[in-house]
């Protein structure tokens, strides 16, 4: 096992879960918290998981990055809608060769981070994780936990797997989290969008859980058609995803326990939705390559309407 | 003024309004009612309208077609979802040369009616009417009332305007309802769909009034794009609608007072939605001509999901 120290920026359903797993495996982990800070400082973190429940009674909890030690690996697990905070949050945590592991959905965040710390040390990860925060410091891990990581390079050119990536993968594997390393981060991002675009969007628009969307023949077909459009979007970036991957995603979702997507949860909490990273940016990239994605375009318009109205009433 | 006698099959927000206007103008009108029967029998009909409120204290109210007299003109103003009742409802009302005036949204109902009474006496009408039934026998006419009528022929071939059509138009005009007579019923049906498909569908999917849909730049653009697809659908039937008609519809809707569409009201009352006539049939016709309408297809899938779930909980 490495001696890497980890900082978790955004210790919610995703960052809190992975951070807790890493700490449980014996690594030093430092958690930046916001609303949960007081609670977690006193009570630690509770992980309720199909892989085994556990309680970390004591964690390194912070509400200010300036009080945190510099770390080897910084996991950015904020909502993409808070990435504007990163120019303030990251610098105090950096030492030479600190690696940022960006565990977020959608496209477009890596270049922003590279502009803060340089592109050399940015690794992106696409997580297949069904997990919800059920109360302060209490995370319910429902299903899956796998991460696919790839190194960021300018314009997302494919690139060789580095020792550091293998080290990070080793740390997660030790903690019971399967990690695949990839030479092509952009391909991984588009593959993740095949799930995220239909399910996140439709769960909000139709006020539905994944199992309801799958049980109805009309929305099941719609999901498939939207996935087809995501494959077209990937092609517009010269990334080939086989059509058979659609069936893999449908099967995986069929097996998933009834689940509210992260976007649906954000919607219910009247938070700004991750529309731009998950839907807007892929649309924009495809459109710049002259590729039209009409159904995804319509999801975008519907989501923007719902999001604006949802937060207007706050 | 003619001496035509009128039967109104389905005396709700639309049939009740037009029937009341015709009776007020001096014509003999017979109303078939369902849930409102007892109330209307005793209290008559109240029309609250921008064109002037009025109360018909006594109307010919029925809850059984077999008690109604045969009439010259039968206005079918049922929800299209109840058209399966027509083979029972129409025959007792027919005399020689009775004309059926079908005032319904969507495509596909005229051939059904022609199969009952023969195609010679079927006239279709597309109504621009914003009207809601607010309680038993009480109709709130919000805006517009114009009807465009055209004679049905096999395969919707355009055909000459008949004297009977002009007579009907005269009756409505006398009653203060503007009527245009058209040689091309199918063109009128598609023109009406330009409004109905986007606004009815999005009002249900996004839980929104027309003014909310128009006030948001994203949904306003979406409406425009859907209207564009309806024009493509019309083209697949060799019907040309100029692009400028889209702006006419947008302007008309901008001027409309905040309005819940009929499909939205049906949804709130957990009634079966008119999805097939308004969205499904136009899609099917375009598809048979090899024309894809992806956004309308997605509206259909979303509506079918919502409708099924909505009525499951009854």
Does A206 sit within 8 Å of B298, measured CB to CB? Answer: no
Residue A140 is inside which H or E element, if any? Answer: strand A138-143
Across the range B142-155, mean pLDDT stands at 94
Alpha helix ranges (H) inside chain B: 15-24, 37-43, 86-89, 109-117, 163-174, 185-205, 210-215, 217-236, 244-255, 262-268, 275, 281-288, 294-312
pLDDT at residue B54, as a whole number? 98
- pLDDT class of B314 with cuts at 50, 70, 90: low
CA distance A158 to B229: 39
Mean residue pLDDT of chain A comes to: 96
CA distance B98 to A21: 78
* pLDDT tens column, A11-55: 999 999 999 999 999 999 999 999 999 999 999 999 999 899 999
The 10 Å CB-count burial string (b at 16+, else e) for A130-157 is bbbbeebbbbbbbbebebbbbbbbeebe
Does B295 sit within 8 Å of A216, measured CB to CB? Answer: no
Kindly state the tokens that stand for B186.
Answer: 């199918």
pLDDT at residue B179, as a whole number? 98
Which of B206, B297, B300 is facing A302, going by the closest CB pair? Answer: B206
Kindly state the tokens that stand for B221.
Answer: 């653009």
Which class for B157: exposed (0-12), middle (13-18), buried (19 or more C-beta within 10 A)? exposed
Q: Please report the beta strands in B50-110, taking only residues with DSSP state E, as ranges in sequence order.
A: 54-56, 60-62, 71-76, 94-103
Does B301 sit within 8 Å of A221, measured CB to CB? Answer: yes
Min Cα separation B212/chain A (Å): 9
Across the range A290-307, mean pLDDT stands at 98
Min Cα separation A104/chain B (Å): 26
Residue B100 has pLDDT above 80, yes or no: yes
Does B298 sit within 8 Å of A298, measured CB to CB? Answer: yes
* CB-CB neighbours of A120 under 10 Å: 12
Does B212 sit within 8 Å of A309, measured CB to CB? Answer: yes
Does B308 sit within 8 Å of A216, measured CB to CB? Answer: yes
- pLDDT class of A87 with cuts at 50, 70, 90: very high
Pair A177, A23: CB distance under 8 Å: no
Nearest residue on chain B to A202, alpha-carbon basis: B302
CA distance A125 to A169: 11
Min Cα separation A212/chain B (Å): 9
Q: How much of chain A exceeds pLDDT 70, in percent?
A: 99
For an interface test with A, the pick among B305, B309, B312 (most A C-beta atoms closer than 10 Å) comes out as B305
Does A218 sit within 8 Å of B304, measured CB to CB? Answer: yes
* pLDDT tens column, B298-307: 999 999 999 9
CA distance B287 to A287: 26
Which of B202, B222, B298 is facing A222, going by the closest CB pair? Answer: B298
User: What's CA A296's distance to the chain center, in Å?
Assistant: 20
- pLDDT class of A7 with cuts at 50, 70, 90: very high
Across the range A206-211, mean pLDDT stands at 96
Kindly state the tokens that stand for A13.
Answer: 């359903």
Residues in chain A within 8 Å Cβ distance of B298: 222, 225, 295, 298
pLDDT at residue A224, as a whole number? 98
CA distance A31 to A77: 11
Across the range A124-144, mean pLDDT stands at 94
Q: How many CA atoms lie within 13 A of A106 on its CB side?
A: 25
- pLDDT class of A313 with cuts at 50, 70, 90: low
Mean residue pLDDT of chain B comes to: 96
- pLDDT class of B256 with cuts at 50, 70, 90: confident
CA distance A229 to B238: 29
Across the range A71-80, mean pLDDT stands at 96
pLDDT at residue B2, as a whole number? 84
Cβ within 8 Å of A, B 214-273: 216, 218-219, 221-222, 225
For an interface test with A, the pick among B202, B205, B218, B299 (most A C-beta atoms closer than 10 Å) comes out as B218
Residue A77 has pLDDT above 70, yes or no: yes
Does B212 sit within 8 Å of A301, measured CB to CB? Answer: no
pLDDT at residue B309, as a whole number? 96
Q: How many residues does chain B have?
A: 314
* CB-CB neighbours of A284 under 10 Å: 14
Kindly state the tokens that stand for B59.
Answer: 């109307």
Min Cα separation A277/chain B (Å): 17
pLDDT at residue A259, as a whole number? 79
- pLDDT class of B313 with cuts at 50, 70, 90: low
Does B208 sit within 8 Å of A205, measured CB to CB? Answer: no
Q: How many residues does chain A have?
A: 314
The answer, for A291 touching chain B at a CB cutoff of 8 Å, is no
CA distance B194 to B201: 12
Strand, helix or coil for residue B72: strand
Strand, helix or coil for residue B52: coil
Considering only CA atoms, which of A49, A100, A89, A52 is closest in space to residue A67?
Answer: A89
For an interface test with B, the pick among A232, A267, A298 (most B C-beta atoms closer than 10 Å) comes out as A298
Across the range A225-249, mean pLDDT stands at 98
Residues of B involved in catalysis: 192
Structure ipTM: 0.90
Min Cα separation A225/chain B (Å): 9
Nearest residue on chain B to A308, alpha-carbon basis: B216
pLDDT at residue A258, as a whole number? 82
Residues of A involved in catalysis: 192
- DSSP string covering B199-221: HHHHHHHTT--HHHHHHSHHHHH
CA distance B52 to B56: 13
Which class for B27: exposed (0-12), middle (13-18), buried (19 or more C-beta within 10 A)? buried
* CB-CB neighbours of A289 under 10 Å: 13
Considering only CA atoms, which of B53, B259, B18 is closest in space to residue B127?
Answer: B18
Residues in chain A within 8 Å Cβ distance of B210: none
Does A300 sit within 8 Å of B295, measured CB to CB? Answer: no
Distances (CA, A) of B189 to B66, B109, B132, B243, B281: 31, 11, 21, 16, 12
Which of A216, A295, A305 is facing B298, going by the closest CB pair? Answer: A295
* pLDDT tens column, A240-274: 999 999 999 999 999 988 878 999 999 999 999 99
Residue carrying the six token digits 């009408």: B125
CA distance B50 to B206: 28
User: What's CA B302's distance to the chain center, in Å?
Assistant: 22
Alpha helix ranges (H) inside chain A: 15-24, 37-43, 86-89, 109-117, 163-174, 185-205, 210-215, 217-236, 244-255, 262-268, 275, 281-288, 294-312
- pLDDT class of B259 with cuts at 50, 70, 90: confident
Domains of chain A: 5-183 (3.40.50.720), 187-312 (1.10.1040.10)
Rg over alpha carbons for chain B, rounded to the nearest Å, is 19
The answer, for A293 touching chain B at a CB cutoff of 8 Å, is no
């Amino acid at each position: 096992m490495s001696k890497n120290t980890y900082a978790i920026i955004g210790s919610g359903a995703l960052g809190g879960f992975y951070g807790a797993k890493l700490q449980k495996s014996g690594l030093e982990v430092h958690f930046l918290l916001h609303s949960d800070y007081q609670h977690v400082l006193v009570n630690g973190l509770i992980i309720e998981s199909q892989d085994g429940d556990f309680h970390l009674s004591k964690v390194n909890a912070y509400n200010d990055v300036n009080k945190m030690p510099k770390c080897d690996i910084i996991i950015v697990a904020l909502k993409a809608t808070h990435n504007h905070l990163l120019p303030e949050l990251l610098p105090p945590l950096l030492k030479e060769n600190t690696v940022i592991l960006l565990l977020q959905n959608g496209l477009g965040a890596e270049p922003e981070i590279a502009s803060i710390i340089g592109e050399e040390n940015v690794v992106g990860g696409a997580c297949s994780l069904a997990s919800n925060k059920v109360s302060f410091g209490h995370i319910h891990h429902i299903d899956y936990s796998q991460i696919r990581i790839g190194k960021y390079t300018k314009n997302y050119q494919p690139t060789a797997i580095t020792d550091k990536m293998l080290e990070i993968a080793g740390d997660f594997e030790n903690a019971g989290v399967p990690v695949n390393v990839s030479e092509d981060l952009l391909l991984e991002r588009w593959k993740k969008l095949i799930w995220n675009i239909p399910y996140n969007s439709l769960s909000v628009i139709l006020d539905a859980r994944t199992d309801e969307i799958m049980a109805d023949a009309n929305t099941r077909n719609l999901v498939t058609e939207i996935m087809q459009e995501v494959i077209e979007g990937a092609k517009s970036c010269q990334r080939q995803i086989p059509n058979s991957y659609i069936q893999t995603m449908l099967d995986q979702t069929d097996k998933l326990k009834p689940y509210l997507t992260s976007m649906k949860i954000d919607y219910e909490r009247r938070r700004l939705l991750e529309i731009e990273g998950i839907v807007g940016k892929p649309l924009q990239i495809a459109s710049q390559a002259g590729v039209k994605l009409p159904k995804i375009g319509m999801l975008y318009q519907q989501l923007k309407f719902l999001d604006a109205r949802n937060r207007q009433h706050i």
